[in-house]
Amino acid sequence: MNEIIKQESSSVSQNIYKPSEIIGIFNSVLARQSVNAQIVYLRGIYLANQKQGNWAYCYDSLRDEDSQEELTLRLTQQQRENLKNGNLVSVGGVLNRNISSKGFIQIVLNVSRIEIVKEQAISEDEIKQSELRQKKSSIGFKNVDTIIENLLLSDRRPKIALIFAETSITMGDFEAGINAARTAIDFEEYRVSFSNSAELVTQLKKVDKLQYDIIAIVRGGGGGIEKLDDLKVLAAIIELKTPIIGAIGHVEEKLFIKQLVDKCAPTPNGLGQYFSEMVESANEKKTHSRAILTEQIKKQFKEQIDAGHKQNKELQEKLRVLTENQKKATEAQEIATKKHNEQVEAANKLNKELQDKLRVLTENQKKADEEQQIANKKHIEQIEAAQKQNQSLQEQLKTLNESQKKLQIIHQKQQEDLGKNLTKMQDANTLLQKSLEKATMQNAETLKELNHAKEQAKELEHSMSELKSKKGTNIWMWIAISAILILLCMLVL
């Protein structure tokens, strides 16, 4: 069946669009069409959307006073300040249409003026119902038709859970319309008290975890049906992960639960007919797909036959060419074989010569190996001798290093002693310098006295000369003169 679907898809036009592209196209078309260029005035019940961000505009709802139909309002924060849930209002504005990201065409009234007609026009329960519907809209409605059709086209039997009231006879109405549906769909029946909301909610949550493809709530009309609009039941409907169908009451019975289910059948009997129609539609599509596939196969088979004839003719021509080429190749092979034999003989002769040369080389290599072994032995002995010599040199170097260290210590001590002696010599030299300066001064004084003594000696000599010239000079005078000379000599020394 998957092959049939693939074949059918391949025959479709290649103009395939993305959902975002289709939404963009329709938005472009709707933008060029004016719904109503005039301001329109509407009256209804105002319902606030609690999930609003800090935006310039808010999107709330206006419900019909006599039904559950709603229209989206686009208001500013200022217009919204004095409004409360349940107010009966009169609003004016311009209608606009746009397509949501989920592909729904939405009519929006851009509100320019609003007036409160009545403070409280609906009950608190109706306000909460409206909030639940807004939550369901934000979550999104599941496409039940597509889910069932895809399962049927892929030859899988949809699993559907049917939830009936405990004492209901609705199953008979459902069986009357189901017809051929049971041949392709598996139904599982569950019974629960619809008048006990808590028990119904528990049952719905339990069935939701059993991985059914669809859940269907089935109940005929009559008293007590309003219990299905209990807020707990409605909240549970929204939280279900499994797509849900509602076949509740009669067409004229306006129950809020019908607005929250993913698909609403008019009656239990209509639900059975719906399943039968889905099975028949899937069977028709399968049949149509098989017919298309048959035509495609015939066309492909004819094309393959034509291609086979053409290929056969081409192969025959290739075979003729290959035969001629084979004949030429055989002749060339004979020539090549003869030439090859001659080359083999020459190669054998050359091989013999090479073997003789190899034998000579082997003998020479053997001699070279023996000589190499002798050289290696000698080399090893030289290495051992060199190692011994190296060890001896290392010991001598160690001794020299130790002596060098000792000499460095002695030299360092001598340097220290030399420094001390040099300091002492410098001190002694300073003292000698001072002594020399003092002796120089003393010599200068002595020289001065000597010069004075010389002058006195000259005077004495002169006096002696005069004395010699005088007669009768007594000996005491000579003694005095000698004493003076002796004294002068001592002063000089």
Degrees, nearest 5: CA angle 426-428-431: 110
The predicted pLDDT at position 36 comes to 53
Write phi, then psi, for 102 (nearest 5 degrees): -95, 5
Same domain assignment for residues 152 and 281: yes
Cβ contact 85:48 at 8 Å: yes
Q: What is the pairing mode between strands 88-99 and 70-76? A: unpaired
Of 88, 121, 154, the one marking the end of a domain is: 121
Same domain assignment for residues 47 and 27: yes
Token duo for residue 57: 């505009």
**DSSP 8-state class, residue 363:** H
**DSSP 8-state class, residue 487:** H
The predicted pLDDT at position 97 comes to 77
* Residue 373, in any domain of the structure: no
Place of tokens 């000379």: 485
Q: Quick one: CA dihedral 143, 148, 152, 155, positive or negative?
A: positive
Check which CATH number belongs to the domain holding 66 and give it.
2.40.50.140
Which residues does 343 contact at the CB level (< 8 Å), separation at least 6?
none
Same domain assignment for residues 227 and 136: yes
Same domain assignment for residues 264 and 171: yes
Token duo for residue 8: 């059918």
Same domain assignment for residues 96 and 161: no
* Residue 304, in any domain of the structure: no
Place of tokens 């479709």: 12
> Domain limits at 109?
20-121
Residue 245, beta-bridge partner list: 216, 263
Token duo for residue 236: 């549970």
Same domain assignment for residues 163 and 281: yes
Q: How far is residue 175's CA from residue 161's CA, in Å, rounded to a whole number?
A: 14
Same domain assignment for residues 209 and 247: yes
- 256, 276, 381 from 220: Cα distances, Å: 15, 19, 118
Same domain assignment for residues 132 and 276: yes
Same domain assignment for residues 239 and 145: yes
Token duo for residue 423: 């300091």
Same domain assignment for residues 85 and 225: no
* Residue 45, in any domain of the structure: yes
Label residue 168 left, alpha or beta by phi (over 0 means left) and psi (-120 to 50 means alpha): beta
Of 121, 144, 174, the one marking the end of a domain is: 121
- Walk along the chain (493 residues) and give the pLDDT tens digit of each residue: 444 444 444 444 456 777 777 777 776 766 665 555 678 888 888 888 777 666 778 888 888 877 767 888 889 888 888 888 778 888 998 888 777 776 677 788 889 888 888 876 667 777 787 788 888 888 888 999 999 999 999 889 999 999 988 876 656 667 766 766 888 999 999 999 888 999 999 999 999 999 999 999 998 877 778 888 889 999 999 999 999 999 888 877 788 889 899 999 888 888 888 998 899 888 888 888 766 667 667 777 777 888 888 888 888 888 888 888 888 888 888 888 888 888 888 888 888 888 888 888 888 888 888 888 888 888 888 888 888 888 888 888 888 888 888 888 888 888 888 888 888 888 877 888 888 888 788 778 878 877 877 777 777 777 767 766 654 455 666 666 677 777 666 665 6
Of 101, 121, 141, the one marking the end of a domain is: 121
SS3 165: strand
**DSSP 8-state class, residue 227:** G
CA 481 and chain centroid, separation: 134
Check which CATH number belongs to the domain holding 198 and give it.
3.40.50.2300
The predicted pLDDT at position 382 comes to 85
* Residue 410, in any domain of the structure: no
Tally of domains in the chain? 2
Cβ contact 144:262 at 8 Å: yes
Longest CA–CA span in the chain (Å) reads 207
Token duo for residue 479: 């003694």
Cβ contact 217:163 at 8 Å: yes
Same domain assignment for residues 100 and 210: no
Cβ contact 1:153 at 8 Å: yes
Same domain assignment for residues 157 and 267: yes
